[in-house]
A and B are shown apart, each in its own frame.
Chain A
């Protein structure tokens, strides 16, 4: 039978070899990245929107918030990046949802490949897009007057922290993508959830300016911790506590959503 030539990535018992599984994951990641070429809208999601956020926050709000756009940018840029990162995790949910509803997962599952490859490949590719948007926003920030005074180490660690946090949140995106009826619902859900969470944090304003009851929430809000940690790492300052809390939150989110997401993924694909 000619098909026997095909069993290469499989062991005799029909299991996928680990190395083959890894290669399949990279292939799936390639697929998610190369699609950007033919879908200019994605470029908007990952480039234009982040750029727009930086400009709007800096020049519209900056003067009133901090006396000058540049002064506000120095405070808010890390928070703008954190918010944008959280919004972007929902693109993962939308893309997975589209694959599910359009039958792409059926085709993939009928192939002798590792079951996790489509999922991990998508998340890997999307983390690369997160990194791209993050670098784009920092680059633009530098042009507009932001200064990375925390040193190159601080920049690297801060970037790593944001990406790790995004990876954890991605599992909630996987769950939403699997459960939502269609991609529009994903978007509606994301806005109603992520908007209030990001705005009730220290991402854009100092928590001390909020009413007491709101401060109680803002102080535990993961977005506050992540924004403080990223800001501290970029511009220098005390970071041990916010970094620790960011990691605790990331671990907690992953611990809750990873098993739920995997169960939904296995049930739906």
Chain B
């Protein structure tokens, strides 16, 4: 199989911390690979190596068959990078930011202008094109940042937590844009802490934790690989939630949880559901809802890493990486 993005035994250390401890991954041409992991898992380090911003200490990384260390220049001409931080110049307008990238890539002035106009329109920034980007909202900045990474029509995209810190509406907008890009045939590596984001956008998922790959497969495979199904019980009377939790935990074990007004438990034994029904009936608890559903990626993640993904986490800091100001929230608010 030919991979557009491929890593073998990738290792990167920052002083004492091992950000990547031998990562293998591959993204098929024209597909989206979701790189999923909690803060500090090594996602950003991996992306920075692929984008030629860092050199690996061991192992190999290739983009479209080019080694990212030996052929860094060629790789840079092929990839587009959208970082966690919207790396646009705040004192330039949207148009000027894109013009800057176009000119740096060697486009003649007229062509660079046309390309900027085209991208601004596609990303619904035409109205704000003449404004300095410091006046943009968080979502607008992210869109401009994504547009900036597309000026050179890259065939391979690295999207490092592109929606971290965005409100749900802006996130949805960005998802639509990303889907459009992939439909045009781009290959993308997407890092995210949002499991539903990986679920919605990725063809394949690699889960990493503490610099190691701990699971991989399609979203469906991952969901069925771990836990399979989940039992949901919602008592009719909310006050009985604690009692229901205790009863279900007796039958299903320690992974039983309360989510909102519902008790959930992974189903490992097909006998669980009838057993729970009998118990609830015996105890005289009225049930508002009782259902079996496939486990969500959230639960898969919990089962794999032993901890929850942090949906509103801080931008990832991979140990020795340059520490930056945390302006994400502030930007999202603006």
Contact = CB atoms under 8 A, between A and B. Distances in A.
Contact of A3 (B101, B104, B152, B322): B152
Interface string B81-92: 101111111111
B51 interface: yes
7 contacts: A6-B105, A6-B106, A10-B77, A14-B75, A24-B103, A112-B76, A268-B322
B303 interface: no
Interface stretch (A82-90, A103-111, A134-142, A164-172): A103-111
Interface in B311-334: 322, 324-325, 327
A240 interface: no
A197 B128 CA distance: 46
Contacts of B78: 1, 3, 6
A102 B322 contact: no
A8 interface: yes
B297 to A, nearest CB: 28
Nearest to A39: B91
Contacts of B51: 106, 110
Nearest to B74: A14
B242 interface: no
A68 interface: no
Contacts of B134: 38
Given A3-B77, A102-B324, 8 more contacts: A9-B105, A13-B71, A38-B92, A101-B325, A106-B87, A107-B88, A107-B149, A111-B152
A109 B53 contact: yes
Contacts of A1: 64, 78, 155
Dominant secondary structure at the A interface: helix
B73 A112 contact: yes
A3 B118 CA distance: 17
B92 A31 contact: yes
B304 interface: no
B85 A103 contact: yes
Nearest to A95: B91
A112 B83 contact: no
A102 B79 contact: no
B154 interface: yes
A38 B77 contact: no
Interface of A: 1-3, 5-10, 13-16, 20, 23-24, 27-28, 30-31, 34-35, 38-39, 42, 100-104, 106-113, 117, 182, 268
A174 B85 CA distance: 23
Nearest to B76: A112
Interface string B130-141: 001010000000
A27 B101 CA distance: 9
A4 to B, nearest CB: 8
A245 B132 CA distance: 44
B39 interface: no
A38 B85 contact: no
Nearest to A1: B155
Contacts of B84: 103
Nearest to B81: A110
A20 B104 CA distance: 9
Contacts of A15: 73
Given A10-B74, A14-B73, A110-B53, A102 B85 contact: yes
B72 A14 contact: yes
Interface string B120-151: 00000000000010100000000001001100
A8 B74 contact: no
B81 A106 contact: yes
A14 B63 CA distance: 14
Contact of B81 (A3, A14, A101, A107): A107
A113 B48 CA distance: 17
A97 B297 CA distance: 40
B27 to A, nearest CB: 16
Contacts of A9: 105-106
Interface in B226-249: none
A100 B324 CA distance: 9
Given A2-B155, A34-B92, A101 B74 contact: no
B256 interface: no
A243 B49 CA distance: 49
Given A31-B89, A102-B85, A107-B81, A182 B325 contact: yes
B329 to A, nearest CB: 15
Contacts of B93: 38
B52 interface: yes
A110 B52 contact: yes
B96 interface: yes
A103 B153 contact: no
